[in-house]
Structure 1
Amino acid sequence: MNELITTLGHNSGLVGYLLIDMAVAILLLGGIRYTMGFIGNVDTKDELSQKDNFAYGISLAGGVAAMGIALSGAITGELAGSYTIELVGMLTYGLAGLIMIKAGRFIHDKFALPECNKHEQILQRNISVGIVDAASVIATAIVVRAALIWVEGLDISTFIALASAWIVSQIMLVIITRVFEWQYSRNNGVSFQTTLEGGQTALAIRYSGYLISTAMSVTAASYFISYDVQNLWVGITQWAVMSLILMTALTLLTTVAKFIVLWGINRREEVEDQQNIGIATIELTTSFSIALLLMALMT
């Protein structure tokens, strides 16, 4: 705290930059609700306070959290040179993050879970689908944040790099979904997406852990790559390769960790047959913890 006060004392203009950043961030956070309502043709006030639609509330909460995560990558703490440049930069990065988050939700709907109409299920109060929807946008935002920190400047190369990193993340999330779905169908003889539509909350929590931890492994991969506008495609390719390697490592380490943490417990039976939310939550936090450790090791 004393260090912050000293810094502000030596650079009074810093207060203006901080105010600009926070004002734009709060504006964009507030806009999430209305953006979701507009895109989904939904009266958000009616869903949240009149119908008390918990599933929609969870989905919206995921959107707000995702926007906050993405914006934390836009706020670097560095002085842009002028208030105008800071405002334009923050707005541009923030809007780019918002677009990528919304696009990520679309990709997840159409390619990761094409058989499940998430929008309709959420309006029908399916909490399981609401949890998955929130996790999917948070996962996308984690990678968007990493990409915003990775890039430099504000030109066409910047947005090519952002879009490329976003594409890598979406491919990874679709891959992990296909693997998860294959395992579930092999064990139970029924589609994961069909079970999700049936309201299996424990399964939704477990799957959410896979999504978020996968996004964190993609983020960890970015720590190996330096941003070089002259060799942009080389950097993106390296990021994709490292993402696959770290995602594989994450899967193996998480499997071992879950086996040890839940020693003597039949995880498949507890989560998939008995819908044990407690066990599913432990699995989610274990996946998160391993991913966090990977990120720490890579920095």
Structure 2
Amino acid sequence: MNVLVNLISVPADIWVYFAIDVGIAILLLAALRWISGRLSSVDTNEELCTQDNFAFGISIAGRMFALCVVLAAAVAGSTKTDYYIAAVSMLAYGLVGLVLIKVGRVLHDKLILDRLDKEAQIMDRNSSVAIIDAASAISTAIIIHSVMLWVEGTDTNALIAVCTSFIVTQAILLVTTRFYERQYRANNQGTMQKALTEGQLALALQQAGMIVGTSIVVSTSAKLLIYNPEAYVSNFTGWLVTGAWLAVLLAILVMVLKKLVLSGLNLVQEVDQQHNVGVACIEMALSVGIAFMVSGLIA
């Protein structure tokens, strides 16, 4: 008689690792929520439920999802070690993820979105800025996840590689954002950041797709580069060069695809001027979808 379900071999103690990983994840997610409230000088329950600040919820949701993405990389290799090392690795990468997500938000606020106060906008219920904030946290986490699977172990060299990829991510996001800002300014009166402060939701969705899509293709660099624990310079330049090349490739592919798939539509008029959320969602889907295709091809 044929077997109805063919399963791969699963470790007998998989549930022990599962309990360890989920327990640490719950602890870190709770810590993230508490830290978010403390840094914003608000009570999260008050802001989310009583004040119904949707922007604040979107921002925290983005950070929580980003932390889960980082922890997923630690979970992937946890069953290959004993319980103690699995717990230490999960906790170490979780704490590193928490710190880098926070540092990334600060850098995104001070360097990339340097003409607006992101925290103040979120507390003022600006969902458009909150969407960009969530997308930037998720994009950083996607890169960190890829690097954690690329490196070997949880030693100092591995942590340096993770921090290196973080720097590369911020640099590429800075350059790509400036490019799209210049493009927006050429087609419209005013700046992209000013439009975001005015609550331009369609623009936020369009840019969020660009940010996440870029991080997906940049993370594919892990499939092209050989990890050398002590080659700090080559690891950095490798991620920077391949990441920049893949980001440019994505931008070109998305531009061509939009002209073909969305032919007959004036995207500048629809998204930038008429705030057409539907068209912006299609653009976001194309950016992320093509990024997954490029990533899958290289993988």
Deviations 1:235-276 (A, max 9, x none): 221111001111110000000111122111000100011000
Within 1, Cα distance between the matches of 2:279 and 2:173? 23
Within 2, Cα distance between the matches of 1:78 and 1:274? 49
Q: Which residue of 2 aligns with 1:247?
A: 247
Within 2, Cα distance between the matches of 1:214 and 1:157? 26
Aligned positions of 1:278-297 closer than 5 A: 278-297=278-297
Partners of 2:157 and 2:230 within 8 A in 1 = no
Aligned positions of 1:118-137 closer than 5 A: 118-137=118-137
Within 2, Cα distance between the matches of 1:128 and 1:85? 41
Identity of aligned residues (%): 39
Q: Following TM superposition, by how much is the alpha carbon of 1:60 offset from its aligned partner in structure 2, in angstroms?
A: 1.1
Structure 1: gaps (5+ residues)? none
Q: Following TM superposition, by how much is the alpha carbon of 1:163 offset from its aligned partner in structure 2, in angstroms?
A: 0.6
Residue identity opposite 1:228 in structure 2? N
**TM-score normalized by the length of structure 1:** 0.95
Q: Which residue of 2 aligns with 1:141?
A: 141
Within 1, Cα distance between the matches of 2:251 and 2:154? 36
Q: Which residue of 1 aligns with 2:202?
A: 202
* Partner residue of 1:3 out of 4, 7, 10: 7
Aligned positions of 1:161-240 closer than 5 A: 161-240=161-240
Q: Which residue of 2 aligns with 1:70?
A: 70
Within 2, Cα distance between the matches of 1:113 and 1:148? 27
Q: Which residue of 1 aligns with 2:269?
A: 269
Structure 2: gaps (5+ residues)? none
Q: Which residue of 2 aligns with 1:102?
A: 102
Q: Following TM superposition, by how much is the alpha carbon of 1:80 offset from its aligned partner in structure 2, in angstroms?
A: 4.7
Within 2, Cα distance between the matches of 1:104 and 1:231? 24
Q: Following TM superposition, by how much is the alpha carbon of 1:77 offset from its aligned partner in structure 2, in angstroms?
A: 3.8
Q: Following TM superposition, by how much is the alpha carbon of 1:2 offset from its aligned partner in structure 2, in angstroms?
A: 5.5
Deviations 1:94-124 (A, max 9, x none): 1111111111111100000011111101111
Q: Which residue of 2 aligns with 1:151?
A: 151
Deviations 1:136-190 (A, max 9, x none): 1111111111111111112211111111010000101111110111111111131
Cα distance change, pair 52–78 in 1 and its aligned pair in 2 (3 A): closer
Q: Following TM superposition, by how much is the alpha carbon of 1:228 offset from its aligned partner in structure 2, in angstroms?
A: 1.3
Within 2, Cα distance between the matches of 1:269 and 1:14? 54
Residue identity opposite 2:146 in structure 1? A
Secondary structure of residue in 2 paired with 1:3: coil
Output the aligned Cα RMSD: 1.4
Secondary structure of residue in 2 paired with 1:75: helix
Q: Which residue of 1 aligns with 2:61?
A: 61
Q: Which residue of 1 aligns with 2:17?
A: 17
Q: Which residue of 2 aligns with 1:259?
A: 259
Within 1, Cα distance between the matches of 2:10 and 2:269? 56
Deviations 1:173-209 (A, max 9, x none): 1111101111111111311111110111111111111
**TM-score normalized by the length of structure 2:** 0.95
Secondary structure of residue in 2 paired with 1:116: coil
Cα distance change, pair 200–14 in 1 and its aligned pair in 2 (3 A): same
Q: Following TM superposition, by how much is the alpha carbon of 1:230 offset from its aligned partner in structure 2, in angstroms?
A: 3.3
